[in-house]
Amino acid sequence: MTTITEQGGAKRRRWTTRAAALIASAAVALGGFALPTVAGAVEPTPTAASQTPATEDTAFDYYAGIAGLPSDHVFENITLERLEDILANGDGNYAILIGGTWDANVTKALPAIDKAAKANGVKKVYNFDPHLDNAGDTTLVDINDKTNKVEAFAKRFQETIGTYKLESLQSKDASKVVDLPTLFTYNRAASGDRVLSRIAGAAAVADEAQDAKVLSAIANKAATRTNGQFYVDYYLNHVAQGSASVFKAGEENNVNLVSVTYGELEKILKSEGNHYIFFGATWCGNTYATIRYVNQEARKYGVKHVYTFDTILDNKSGKDSPFHIRDNYSKNATGDHPLADLYTHLVNTYLPNLVTEDGVHGVIDSKGVGATRLQVPLLLHYNKDNKAQLAGTDQPAGPITDEVVDYHGTKYNVDTKPQPTALEYMLTWVGTTYDDAKIIPGGYAIRGDDLKPAKNYGRTVNNDRDAYIAQLDHFYSLIAARARVAEAKAVSLKGYGDAKVKAYNAAIAKAEATLANKNATIDATDGASADLAAAYQALTAQGGNNGGSNNGGTNNGGSNNGGSNNTGNNGGNTGSGNHNTGSNKGDGGNRVISAETKGGNDSLANTGSSITTAFGIALALLATASVSLIASRRLFARKA
């Protein structure tokens, strides 16, 4: 089991509390060093101290590359659903910009707004683009156009203006809802018109002085509203009949889900690095049953960004609405599904190795082009540059490195080779609680489930919910272990003795063998990450470089006693950086680790200071915590 249970709860808490404390101590001791991801280090709502960075989770900025805009800008791109959440539920004052980055007038204005916001103590300006595909003149879904030939599109944004009392934003142009761009401040508690201040038009919004005047209305009093607040409040207020809320009150800071727009998702798919993407929706009952655990297990494995995309672009009108892109095109383009081209473009361009059970049915666009139809929910991991089938997965070669699907190969052949066939996990939740001790047997259903340990990567599971968690854990664990192997292989071995190098390489080879085994248990893949941490600790142990040296204690502070040579290291530690000449500049002179890891994430590497006693202690804490956690998971799995 991976969630809290009443049975044996006190013992489990003692195990995990001790291990989490060790991990936290290691994180503090390491400071700027990145720790290897250790699965199971935390409970479902882990503390920040126990989270670890993951090279397989690359941070992304929608506004990167805009001329004159600094990396610490105030902007956050939001969906229509999040805009309406702020308008309906946000307490306090908010700064909101309406307009898209496809518009040169907007990108020109962003640096000016950013400066004005910072000068007025406004930490966030929420940016909503009424082109829901974030495209310019070629947009297929402009809800700011009141003459749009799709009636639902023409009415949708006007409804927002009326519902949330934004009448003062109304454009004088009868064909438009608002003038673009528009910058305004808002407070839902204001009487009458809730708009506190506003400006509109390209020239005005690009003028820093005018921006400052608008934002001064909420100077040093601006509120923020996070994805965590959005998701927790949504599910607390939309509890399925007879069910528990997906998230609990107070969990706002424990949500690593990041809601993204269509254009934002496309930019992510174009970007460098590794990304977790979850196709899910608040309106979807199957997402209701899974989203808590997608988030929970992501946090356990140190994943800070799970980009969440809803294939219904207004996020609430239902799968039969024209906002739904994941269905066949309507010939007259005014019917139910005029946006199929957006879906086929997304899948055929960026997700060519997508595996779903509905591939043969697909989605047909306006040009007659088909694309594999994914089911919601679906969690996948993505790297645009990947061209290989990765060890330990059934995923065909391509940018999707893995998916959380139930692979069946040719056994249930509803698709054609070379794609293996799969059943998506279509789960429903009809229980009354998320508490393990009170879970209702049969209350959580997964189609095509299999509760045998062999199917669940060594986990003993008693219900369908825990079977799904096992699939998630395997997904996250395998990706994390693969990243740890890559980082370990990138470490420079220059200057270490033959015996140490041999032992270190043997640990890497063992981890690679575990990854290659499709039947490896979750404990095995988690253990591979822990073993690599221990191997690195052994490699860099102070005073152990064949014959002893002053490195064990006298060099830790950066002084080398007047510049004496460390002749005690002549047993294989004669690589560059070890011959001290008297000026060590605080690094002890023994910089034998100089690895660079992919994506700019320093992990298993000493990139800025020497291997000190504190660093060795930190790694020892990490290794001890890893062993404790794996042992505790095995113990309580047997008791579950």
In this predicted model, what pLDDT tens digit does every residue of 376-402 receive, in sequence order?
Answer: 899 999 999 999 999 899 899 999 999
pLDDT above 80: residue 314: yes
The values of phi and psi at residue 382, to 5°, are: -140, 135
Helix locations, 168-251, DSSP H? 202-205, 208-215, 227-237
In this predicted model, what pLDDT tens digit does every residue of 120-158 receive, in sequence order?
Answer: 999 999 999 999 999 998 998 999 999 999 999 999 999
Determine the residue type at 616: G
In this predicted model, what pLDDT tens digit does every residue of 447-479 receive, in sequence order?
Answer: 555 778 888 899 988 777 788 899 999 999 999
Between residues 375 and 90, which one has the greater pLDDT? 90
**Over the chain, what is the mean pLDDT?**
78
The predicted structure's pLDDT at residue 173? 98
Q: Which of 226, 247, 278, 205 is nearest to 86 (CA)?
A: 226
pLDDT above 90: residue 445: no
The predicted structure's pLDDT at residue 226? 99
The predicted structure's pLDDT at residue 436? 55
Range of lowest pLDDT (215-229, 314-328, 586-600): 586-600
pLDDT above 80: residue 550: no
The values of phi and psi at residue 197, to 5°, are: -160, 160
In this predicted model, what pLDDT tens digit does every residue of 268-291 receive, in sequence order?
Answer: 999 999 999 999 999 998 898 899
pLDDT above 80: residue 62: yes
In this predicted model, what pLDDT tens digit does every residue of 9-47 receive, in sequence order?
Answer: 333 334 344 444 443 334 333 333 333 333 333 333 332
Task: Count Cβ atoms below 10 Å from residue 628 Cβ, excluding itself.
Answer: 20
Range 360-363, long-range pairs (CB < 8 A, 24+ positions): 360/414, 360/415, 360/416, 363/326, 363/327, 363/328
In this predicted model, what pLDDT tens digit does every residue of 416-439 receive, in sequence order?
Answer: 455 566 777 777 765 555 655 555
At 355, is the pLDDT very low, low, confident or very high (cuts 50, 70, 90)? confident
Q: Which of 542, 536, 540, 512 is nearest to 524 (CA)?
A: 512
The predicted structure's pLDDT at residue 438? 54
pLDDT above 90: residue 608: no
